[in-house]
Amino acid sequence: MRDVAVVGFAQRQMAEFDGSPTCVELLVPLFAECYEQTGWTRRDVGFWCSGSSDYLAGRSFSFVSAVDAIGVIPPVNESHVEMDLAWAMYEAWLKIQTGEVDTALVYAFGKSSAGVLRRTLSLQLDPYTMTPLWPDTVSLAGLQARAGIDAGLWDERAMAEVANRSLTDAEKNEYAIRKGGSSVEELLARPVYADPLRKHDCAPVTDGAAALVLAAGDKAREVCERPAWIRSLTHFVDPMSMGTRDLTRAPSAQRAGAGADLDGVEVAELHAPFSHQELILRTELGLGDDVRINPSGGALASNPMFSAGGIRVGEAAKRIWSGEASKALGHATSGPALQQNLVCVLASEGTDD
């Protein structure tokens, strides 16, 4: 395997983006930031890959004009996944591993506010027996939270602790949308919304975009003092059916973690759009109490669809660049109730070092 590092990261998050669903206007300044971080121009990028969703935008081929933001004369080596940024990064990492290219810029965007996200995501479900009932994201998460409460695996207090820590940490994150922790007692005193969930247990609906820059070996060392080397990058998917899987578990997360080098991880950015999902992920990944979780505030502070997973990798990379951590984990999820999970372990030292 080649040593590949995350050497650039830029993000934008907002409650409501007032521009077009193609988000080209958001991408132009993001790319500019990436060029500034690396000293590159677009011609130094060997491969491009984006993540987005037509159903989020409400139209077919919503991603095609996004390449305008790159400036595509001459044409570029480019691909697109109908997935989160983290999986776009995976495709780019593969491309670098084949030896075809040494550098990549991956990006993702989504304007959740263009539609009613809770309804839009019902279209992700089994189209024959689930979508006709329009089960919304919050309800599916509520069923999962209740299953864990009933099984005695967590309680509302543990969920409130996650929310309180996330919202407190979010105060230091300029990109966070929802911020301001108080106390577990105060959060528990707030009304229950989608029983057993309170509003702060659920990620806010957020628009946004993000970009990550990858480079191999010396290319990474040239542009970054302390590159965040990708030590492991693995992902798995579980069946969707809410009936046949144990909702208190996320076997795909467990498997992704088992395939990763997690020894000595100091910081973990977990993509948990609902508070109890962080608890599941911590267990599945075997993260001990000494691992700092979501210093950015995580998805409960801001969850721009299709970039929020990749943003976790970017946030983890920032901790490596700054010297704050020498090993950090970025996690991304997709699908209802943690169906699909990706784990990316970053370290200040590559395998060659």
* Minimum separation from the CB atom of position 154 to other proteins (A): 14
351 binding other proteins? (CB under 8 A): no
User: Could you say which of 30, 85, 105, 145 contacts other proteins (CB under 8 A)?
Assistant: 145
Which one, of 262, 240, 237, 266, lies nearest residue 252 by Cα?
237
Which one, of 251, 313, 257, 248, lies nearest residue 285 by Cα?
257
190 binding other proteins? (CB under 8 A): no
Of 91 and 278, nearer to other proteins (C-beta) is 91
Spatial separation of the C-alpha atoms in residues 340 and 334, rounded to whole Å: 5
Spatial separation of the C-alpha atoms in residues 136 and 334, rounded to whole Å: 15
Residue 49 pairs in a beta bridge with: 79, 106
* Minimum separation from the CB atom of position 254 to other proteins (A): 11
User: Could you say which of 36, 133, 180, 185 contacts other proteins (CB under 8 A)?
Assistant: 133
* Minimum separation from the CB atom of position 19 to other proteins (A): 5
User: Could you say which of 155, 237, 266, 326 contacts other proteins (CB under 8 A)?
Assistant: 237
Q: In the range 319-338, which residues lie near other proteins by CB under 8 A?
A: 334-336
132 binding other proteins? (CB under 8 A): yes
258 binding other proteins? (CB under 8 A): no
Q: Are 13 and 175 in contact (CB under 8 A)?
A: yes
Piece in contact with other proteins (CB under 8 A), picked from 49-57, 222-230, 282-290, 294-302: 49-57
User: Could you say which of 5, 8, 12, 63 contacts other proteins (CB under 8 A)?
Assistant: 63
Could you please report the per-residue DSSP string of 8-59?
EEEEEEES---S-TT-HHHHHHHHHHHHHHHT--GGG--EEEEE--HHHHTS
Half-sphere exposure of 270 (CA within 13 A, CB side): 29
Peptide bond into 127 cis (omega under 30): no
25 binding other proteins? (CB under 8 A): yes
65 binding other proteins? (CB under 8 A): yes
125 binding other proteins? (CB under 8 A): yes
Q: In the range 150-179, which residues lie near other proteins by CB under 8 A?
A: 150
Q: Are 331 and 344 in contact (CB under 8 A)?
A: yes
* Pairing of the two strands 78-81 and 47-51: parallel
31 binding other proteins? (CB under 8 A): yes
Residue with tokens 């009933």: 150
188 binding other proteins? (CB under 8 A): no
User: Could you say which of 38, 103, 124, 302 contacts other proteins (CB under 8 A)?
Assistant: 124
246 binding other proteins? (CB under 8 A): no
Q: Are 159 and 273 in contact (CB under 8 A)?
A: no
Q: Are 4 and 216 in contact (CB under 8 A)?
A: yes
Piece in contact with other proteins (CB under 8 A), picked from 46-54, 223-231, 260-268, 274-282: 46-54
Residue 121 pairs in a beta bridge with: none
Of 118 and 226, nearer to other proteins (C-beta) is 118
Could you please report the per-residue DSSP string of 268-305?
EE---SBHHHHHHHHHHHT--TTSEE-TT--TTT--BT
Tokens of 342: 């990706």
| # of chain residues touching other proteins (CB under 8 A) | 110
18 binding other proteins? (CB under 8 A): yes
Q: In the range 67-106, which residues lie near other proteins by CB under 8 A?
A: 67-83, 87, 90-91, 94-95, 97-100
